[in-house]
Amino acid sequence: MVSFINFKGLAAGILALLVAATPALAQDKPLEKMSVGMPPVYNAVGIYYAKELGYFEQQGLDVDVQIFRNGSEEIVPMLATGKLDAASTGLTAGLYNAINGGAGIILAADSGHHDSQKSERPIQMIAISKQLYTGTLTKEILKGKTFAVPTRGNAQEIFIDLFLKEYGLSIEDVNIVTVPFSGMVTALAGGSVFGAPLLEPYLTIAKRQGAAVGVKASDELYPRQQAAALMFSKTFMMGHRDRAVKFITAYLQGVRYYLAHHSSPADLDFLFKVTQKYIPLKDRSLLDEIGKPSLYPDGRLYRDSIKRDIQWFVDHKYIGRALALDGLVDDSLLDEALKALGSQPVPKEKPSLEQRVSNMNNDLRLAVLQPDKVVEHCGLKPGMSVLDIGAGSGLFTFRLAEALKGGGMVYATEVSDELVRSLQETAKAKGLGNVTVSKVDPDGLDPFYGRQAYDLVLLSGMYYHLDAPRDYFRQLYPFVKENGRVIIIQPTNEEFFVGQQFTSREMKLMSASCSGAVRGNPVCARLRPAAREYLSGWQSGEPSAEIREMLAADLNAMLIDTGLFGDLRSFYKAKGLGDPTSSAVARMSTRQDLFVKWLAVRLDEDNAFGRDIKSLSEDDQKMLNRLNGLCLRGVLNLDRTLDPVKNFYLSDIKAITREMTAAGYRLVRRDPFWTAYYFLEFAKDTSSVT
Amino acid sequence: MRSLRQLLCACSLILGALLPLSTLAGTLPKAEIPVLLDHCGLKPGMAFLRIEAVLPVPDPAKGLYDMILLDGIYPRLADPRSYLTGLLPALKQGGRIVIIQPTDEEYFLPSFISDADLLSVHELFKGPKGEDHPVFKRLRAITQACVRQGEAKECRIFLAEDLNAMLAEPGFFGALRAFYYVPREENPVFVIAKMGTGQDELVKLLLGQLEDTGALDKEPGVLSREEKDMVNRLNGVCIRAILGLKKPFAELRERYLAGRQSIIRAATGAGYKVSDGGAEQPGHIILEFVKP
C-alpha cells in the first residue's frame, strides 16, 4: 500500500497506480461508459476521488461526471429518463414524487449525512444574516421572517422546521423563498433573507465575508439525517447491474480514501486540487476551516431518517403518499461491493466532553431533578463547608457555591480527568472562587476527603456506584461535622411522566392510540377533554408546553389509578380471544409481559385493585405505579419514556437507610418532592457506636 | 379405588362426552395426575364433573354432583364469582369444588429441559471460567459431571433438582451479581443486562424490594411468603436466562394470573367455604371448597 505524505508523493503514487493498472485493462477490455450527475458540493467527494485516483478505471469504468448547479431539480428528471445512469444528490420531495409517479430510481448508498453527534465543524448550519441579527432569537423575532432554501420540498426545509420548533414555531410561521446555495451568501449579506441552512463551503464563505452568523448546526438539530444518497436509474440497472456494483465498489474506495486522508495539509492540498474541477472554490485556505462531509465507510443508508423525512414530506403535503422503503432502497448492490471490499464499520465514537456535560445538564434532567429546589432544601448558610461527591458536570456544585453567596467552600470531587478539567474551567468562567475541584480515587474513600470537615455532604446519583456503601460512610464519618448532614439523592424505580419527554413521534403514536379501533380505550378516556381533543386532532408539529404538561399530569394521575388495569383488561379482552389477560397484555404491547403479569397477580392477591390508593401498602403502591406505567407506555407506544426508568438502579430507601444506620447515621428527613428521586437527609447519630 | 381410566370414563358418562386421557395429561404432567386424584378423594359411585371449558352447567345436573373440578379454566372466567355461584346448584349438599390453577411460580421439571437446553448448559460450563460460575458451583458433583459430558437422560433429573434448590436461595442473586459485575466499569444496572434475562425491569423491581427488606441476606427458612415468592421469580428469571433454558419461559408466558387469595375471595364471595384440603404441586395450586 502506498503511503502518501505530501502532494508530490501522492501524485507520483497515483501515477504509479494508474500506470500499473491501466495497461492491463486497456489491452484486455475497453472501459465501460457510465454517466453520473451531482450538484457542486463536497458530499460527492467519494466520486471525485474515485475518478481522480483511478478507482473507476480499476473497475473497468469510464465515468463521465456531470455537475448540475440546481441539484436534484435538474438531476432527477435526467436520471428518471435514463439520460444519467447514476447520481449523488439530495433526498427531496421531488425525487420521491418522481418515484411515486413511476420514475425508475433506486437508492443504493450513503452520499452524505449529518454527524451522529455535535461536531466542532458542522457541514451545515442555520445561518442568520449578520445585518439582521441582534444577537438574540425569540419566537417573536423569528415569526414571519424570510428563510431561503435551494428548492422547495428539500431536506433543508426539515432542518429549518426543526430549528423553528425550538422556538415554538414551525415552517408555516415563516416565509420560504428559493435561492440556490451559491446565491445564499449574497442574499444573507444584503439582508434580503433573514436566514438560510448554509452548506459548506458557503457556510465558511459567509462567515468570512461577515455575511452571516451560524446559530445551529445540522448535527445538533437532526443527528444522522440522511441528506443525500447515491442512486441509480432502474433502466441502467436492468441492463448493467454489474456496472452498478463496480461503480459502488470504486465509490466506496474513494470514500474510504477520503476518510483516511482528510486532515493533514498535504491531504487538504490534494482535496483542493481534486475538487477544484467540480466545485467553484478558488481559495485553498477555506479548506482549513470548513466542516467536512460525513460519510459512512460502508456506505449504508440510514433508513430511519429516510422514513422520517418522507413522512415529513407527506405531512406537509409535498408528496401524496409515503413510499415503502423496501422498494425504494436496494442494499444488494452495496452488499455485493462489500463482499469484495470487506466491511469497515464506523468506529463507535466516544461522546465528547462537551456532549457528556450537555447530556448531564439537558432540559429533561433539569426538569426531573430540579437542582434549584434541591439546593433550596439544603438550607445552606454562608460560610459552610460543602462536599459534592461525584460532582459530574457541576449541576449542583455551582448552584451550591452561588447559594453560599461567595463565602464558605464547595469541594467538588470527580474520578474523571475530563470532568475535573471541565468543572475547573466552568468555575473560573463563572467567577466562583469558592469552588475547589479535586480528582479522587474511585477505590474507597480518597485521602482528599480527610483534609476538611464538612457541614454538608451531597451525593446525587452516586450511591449505587459505591462498592461498599456502609464502609464508605463509616470512613467519611469523622469528617462530617457534629451537626453536619449527608444528603443522598437517589433515583427511585418509579414510573413518571414529564411533559418535556414527549417527542413529536410519540405525539403521533399517542394520537394513533386514541383514534381508530382503540379510540375509546381507558387511557384516552381518562385524559382531560382538552388533551383528548388535542390528540384526536393532532396532525403534526410540536405540542405547546401547556399541552405537554397537561398530558404528563393526566398520565401521572393514572399511575395511581387502581381501576386502570382492570379497565384496560376488559377493553382489550373484548377485542381478543383466549386467555383474557395474556391476550390483553399482549395487545397492550408492553414488551414486559411477564412483569405485567407478575405485578397483576400480586396486586390482585392483595385485593389492591379498585381500592382507594391511600389504603394500599407502600409496596402495593409501588407495584401499582410500575404496572400502570408499563401499561401506559405499552398502550401509548411511549418507548422513549422508558429510558430514564431503565437506567435507574435499584437500592431503595430502606436499603440505603439500613446501610447508613449501620455506618453511624440516622435518617432525619425524607422529602420525596420529586416523582423520580428520593431526597434522603442523614445526620450523625452520636448515640450509636460504630 | 378405581383406575384413572375408569374414573375418567365415569366422568365422561356424566358429561355425555368422551374425555380422553390426553386431555388431562395435557393440563398437568402425567406424573402428577395420580397425586391430584389422591388429593380429590374420589370414591366409586361418586358423581364427578370435570370442567375444562367455559360452558354453562347443563340443567339436569342440578344437585347431582359430589365434586366439580375446574381444571385450568379459572383464568378464562370473565366473572369468576358469578360463575362459581352458578355452579352451586349443581353440587350436592356438602359437595366439593376443586380448582386447579397454574401458579406463575418458577420451577424446573426434567421434561422442561430439552436437548438444546442441555447443550446450552454444556457450552456455558465447558469454558475456562465455567467452574467459577455460581450456577456450576451449586451443582452437585454428579450433575457437574453429567452437564460437562452434555448428555445422559439422568442429567435432566439431576439438573432440575439442583436448579429447583437454587430457586429458593436468597443469596443466589448476590453471587451472580458478583460474578458478572466489573467494578466501576459501568452502571451496575448493566450487570443485569449482561445476564441477558430480557426481563430487566422485573429483575430490578424484585431486587429493589428484596434489598429493601434485607431478604437477600436472610436464611431461606425465615423469609415471608412474599419474599419467597420474589426470590423464586428473581432466581428463576436469572437461571433461565443464564442457562438459555427456553421451555420453562414459554410455559410461564402462557400462564395466567389469578393467585390463591384472589380465588379464595371469589369462591367465598360466591357462597363456598374453604376446605382444609388445599394442596400445592410445583407450578400449580389446588384449592378445595365445600358447598355449605
Residue A24's CB is within 10 A of a number of other CB atoms, namely 10
Mean pLDDT of B25-51: 56
Q: Where are the alpha helices (DSSP H) in B244-283?
A: 247-254, 260-269
Position A249 scores a pLDDT of 94
Mean pLDDT of A232-258: 91
Phi-psi region of A663 (alpha: psi -120 to 50; beta: other; left: phi over 0): alpha
Phi-psi region of A444 (alpha: psi -120 to 50; beta: other; left: phi over 0): left
Mean pLDDT of chain B: 74
Asked if A471 and A444 count as a contact pair (C-beta separation under 8 A), the reply is yes
The answer on pLDDT for A638 being more than 70 is yes
Position B6 scores a pLDDT of 34
* Residues whose CB is less than 8 angstroms from the CB of residue B24 and which lie 6 or more positions away in sequence, other chains included: B8, B33, B50, B71
Give the model confidence (pLDDT) of A486-512 as tens digits. 999 887 777 888 777 777 777 777 787
Position B9 scores a pLDDT of 31
Instruction: Report the gap between the CA of A632 and the closest CA in chain B (Å).
Output: 15
| Local confidence band at A350 (pLDDT 50, 70, 90 cut-offs) | low
| Local confidence band at B67 (pLDDT 50, 70, 90 cut-offs) | confident
Position A576 scores a pLDDT of 59
- Asked whether the ipTM of the predicted complex exceeds the cut of 0.95, the reply is no
Asked if A152 and A71 count as a contact pair (C-beta separation under 8 A), the reply is no
| Among candidates A415, A607, A650 on the partner chain, residue whose Cβ is nearest the Cβ of B265 | A607
Position A521 scores a pLDDT of 82
Question: Terminal CA-to-CA distance of chain B, rounded, Å?
Answer: 26
Instruction: Report the gap between the CA of B215 and the closest CA in chain A (Å).
Output: 10
Q: What is the residue whose three cell numbers read 465509490?
A: A251
d(CA A179, CA A187): 8
The answer on pLDDT for A59 being more than 70 is yes
Give the model confidence (pLDDT) of A394-419 as tens digits. 999 999 999 998 789 999 999 888 88
Highest mean pLDDT, choosing among A21-25, A307-311, A676-680: A307-311
Question: Terminal CA-to-CA distance of chain A, rounded, Å?
Answer: 68
Record: contact A580-B261, CB cut-off 8 A? no
Mean pLDDT of A296-310: 89
- Tell me the chain B residues in contact with residue A605 when contact means C-beta distances shorter than 8 Å: 259-262
Q: A607 to chain B: nearest residue by CA?
A: B262
Sheet of A435-439, strands arranged across: A435-439, A409-414, A385-389, A454-460, A480-491, A677-684, A665-670
d(CA A491, CA B287): 41
- Tell me the chain B residues in contact with residue A569 when contact means C-beta distances shorter than 8 Å: none
Query: SS3 of B70, please?
Result: strand
Give the model confidence (pLDDT) of A564-585 as tens digits. 988 888 887 776 544 555 555 6
User: What's chain A's Rg over C-alpha atoms?
Assistant: 30
For the four alpha carbons of A565, A566, A570 and A571, in that order, the dihedral sign comes to: negative
Record: contact A581-B262, CB cut-off 8 A? no
Record: contact B199-A606, CB cut-off 8 A? no
Mean pLDDT of chain A: 82
Alpha-carbon dihedral of residues B161, B166, B167, B169, nearest 10 degrees? 140
Position A7 scores a pLDDT of 33
Position A101 scores a pLDDT of 86
Record: contact B254-A582, CB cut-off 8 A? yes
Q: A168 exposed, middle or buried (CB, 10 Å; 0-12, 13-18, 19+)?
A: middle
d(CA A299, CA A255): 8
| Among candidates A592, A597, A649 on the partner chain, residue whose Cβ is nearest the Cβ of B187 | A649
| Among candidates B184, B252, B259 on the partner chain, residue whose Cβ is nearest the Cβ of A594 | B252
Record: contact B256-A597, CB cut-off 8 A? yes
Give the model confidence (pLDDT) of B114-172 as tens digits. 787 788 788 788 766 788 889 999 999 999 988 887 666 678 889 999 999 999 999 99
Give the model confidence (pLDDT) of B235-266 as tens digits. 988 888 888 776 655 555 555 567 788 899 99
Record: contact A650-B76, CB cut-off 8 A? no
Position B257 scores a pLDDT of 64
Q: Is A208 on the interface with B (CB under 8 A)?
A: no
Position A37 scores a pLDDT of 93
Position A487 scores a pLDDT of 94
The answer on pLDDT for A613 being more than 70 is yes
Position A118 scores a pLDDT of 54
Record: contact A645-B188, CB cut-off 8 A? no
Above pLDDT 90, what percent of chain B? 14
The answer on pLDDT for A359 being more than 70 is no
Mean pLDDT of A282-308: 83
The answer on pLDDT for A590 being more than 60 is no
Position B212 scores a pLDDT of 81
Rounded to two decimals, the pTM is: 0.57
DSSP β-bridge partners for residue B70 = B51, B99
- Tell me the chain B residues in contact with residue A593 when contact means C-beta distances shorter than 8 Å: 253
